[in-house]
Amino acid sequence: MLQVQPDAPVAVIRASYKTLMLELKQHPDLGGDLWNAQVLNEAYALLSNSEKRREYDRKLFEQYTKKPFPDPFSGQSPLISIFCPFCKRPMARQPNPDDSCPSCRSPLQTFVQDPVQACRRIIPRIKRSGKFRYYTTWPQKGREAELVDLSREGMRFKCEEKLRVGMLVKISSSYLKGVAKIKNVHKIYFQNRTVYSVGAEFVSVTFKEPKGGFYSATA
């Protein structure tokens, strides 16, 4: 919910909380949704309290690994090394290529580019239009955006919300599902209204039709 890693220090948690509530205007006084603000407040109250956070980590560890939480003085690390790239749910095992997160349904595998196919790219991106939904937190209703172009490494789209560079968003459409990291955001004027042109790089992605005209290669 706060878009931080499981081992993030309190200072990072606090900074992310303030950014979400104030700069990204999740606070109700700034036009944000009341339900989202309440969830963010609950998450911050839990993770900023060392005792509550340890109990939270213990429950997650035991729930997903089916093992007792290690004694902090035993020398064993209680941290789980595999997490959903979006909602940060801990995974009990290394995911298979087609696995998705049981909570947010995001794909768990990161796309690895084939070095042979990468030698000759037909075009940097394919122009493609269409509506899709993106999510900045989970659970969330999501917001609608319009695709501009697409490649196997990333996408560009237009939306009405000013997204933050570096944040992760969950992408859901009829032709792909993925998690993407925002790389750049530009304000533009489109059809007499202000929107944002967003460039995003895939962290993990699955395509409905993975084979197609993204690349061309010859031996």
Peptide bond between residue 139 and the one before it cis (omega within 30 degrees of 0):
yes
pLDDT > 60? residue 119:
no
* Strand ranges, E, within 92-192: 126-135, 143-150, 154-159, 168-172, 176-190
- Give the pLDDT score at 25: 81
Query: Which residue do the tokens 């122009």 mark?
Result: 127
**Distance from first CA to last CA of the chain, Å, rounded?**
46
φ and ψ at residue 159, rounded to 5 degrees: -150, 165
The tokens of 58 are what? 């213990």
CATH topology of domain 117-207: Thrombin, subunit H (2.40.10)
Q: List all residues 6 or more positions away from 212 whose beta carbon is below 8 Å from its beta carbon.
A: none
CA distance linking residue 86 with residue 42, whole number of Å: 19
Using the predicted structure, report yes or no on whether residue 116 has a pLDDT greater than 60. no
Q: Give the pLDDT confidence of 128-147 residue by residue, as tens digits.
A: 678 999 999 887 888 999 99
pLDDT tens digits, residue range 58-108? Answer: 887 787 777 777 665 455 555 556 788 888 777 767 888 788 888 888 998
Please report, for the chain, the start and end positions of each structural domain, with discontinuous segments joined by +.
Answer: 117-207
Question: What's the pTM value of the predicted model, to 2 decimals?
Answer: 0.60
CB-CB contact of 72 with 41 (8 Å): no
Q: 191 CB contacts (<8 Å, ≥6 apart)?
A: none
Query: pLDDT tens digits, residue range 165-216?
Result: 988 999 999 888 999 999 999 999 877 889 999 999 999 998 876 555 454 4
Please report the pLDDT score of residue 219 as a whole number.
41
